[in-house]
């Protein structure tokens, strides 16, 4: 049985300039007390060619987590574009929003991200060196790819009312 159910993720400030922060409003429900915090992480895939260009934009720990419904805005700075091959800055990439409990990832929400120039003339004839101040980022928010993974949650403590005891039996 899962302890956390992510009920919605909304992409905020979309589309926007590529240099603006990324923002997500996350809502989730917790079904029982958890011993540790949840770790939310946002990763930008810098190149389809190699993971070495991936960047963790931010990670945040949320807790303690008790039964109930929660909502927060996760905001992260954009990637460091100097660490991404120039040929991979413009075009389509992916961002991954993940959540883990005790280092066990239990949900991954992936979004395609399209980066292109605002002006049609630059889209038709892009400069050799990307001009970051003229690029727009559009996250395809209506088509996330959600993957859930089974993990080991904390053991749910049984209530003493659920224990079946025969009070007439002799105690040893």
Torsion-angle region of residue 141: left (phi > 0), alpha (psi -120 to 50) or beta? alpha
Tell me the whole-structure pTM to 2 decimals: 0.87
Per-residue pLDDT tens over the stretch 47-101 = 999 999 999 999 999 998 999 999 999 999 999 999 999 999 999 999 999 999 9
Q: What percent of the chain has pLDDT over 90?
A: 86
pLDDT confidence of residue 156 = 62
Residue pLDDT, tens place only, 19-29: 999 999 999 99
**In the chain, pLDDT over 70 holds for what percent of residues?**
90
Q: Residue 14's closest CA among 1, 25, 28, 5?
A: 25
Interior angle at CA 78, CA 74 and CA 46, nearest 5: 115
Query: Domains of the chain (ranges plus CATH)?
Result: 4-146 (2.60.40.1490)
Closest CA to 56 of 107, 98, 86: 98
The per-residue pLDDT for 165 is: 36
């Amino acid at each position: 049985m899962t302890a956390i159910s992510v009920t919605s993720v909304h992409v905020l400030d979309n589309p926007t300039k590529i240099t603006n922060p990324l923002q997500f409003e996350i809502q989730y429900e917790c079904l029982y007390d958890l011993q540790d915090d949840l770790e939310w992480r946002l990763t930008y895939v810098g190149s389809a060619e190699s993971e070495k260009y991936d960047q963790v934009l931010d990670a945040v720990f949320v807790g303690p987590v008790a039964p109930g419904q929660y909502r927060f805005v996760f905001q992260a700075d954009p990637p460091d574009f100097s660490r991404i091959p120039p040929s991979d800055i413009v075009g389509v990439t992916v961002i991954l929003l993940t959540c883990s409990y005790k280092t066990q990832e239990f949900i991954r929400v992936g979004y395609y991200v399209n980066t292109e120039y605002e002006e049609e003339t630059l889209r038709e004839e892009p400069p050799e060196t990307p001009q970051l101040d003229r690029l727009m980022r559009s996250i395809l928010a209506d088509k996330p790819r959600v993957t859930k993974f089974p993990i080991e949650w904390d053991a749910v403590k049984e209530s003493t009312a659920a224990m079946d005891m025969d009070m007439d039996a002799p105690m040893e």
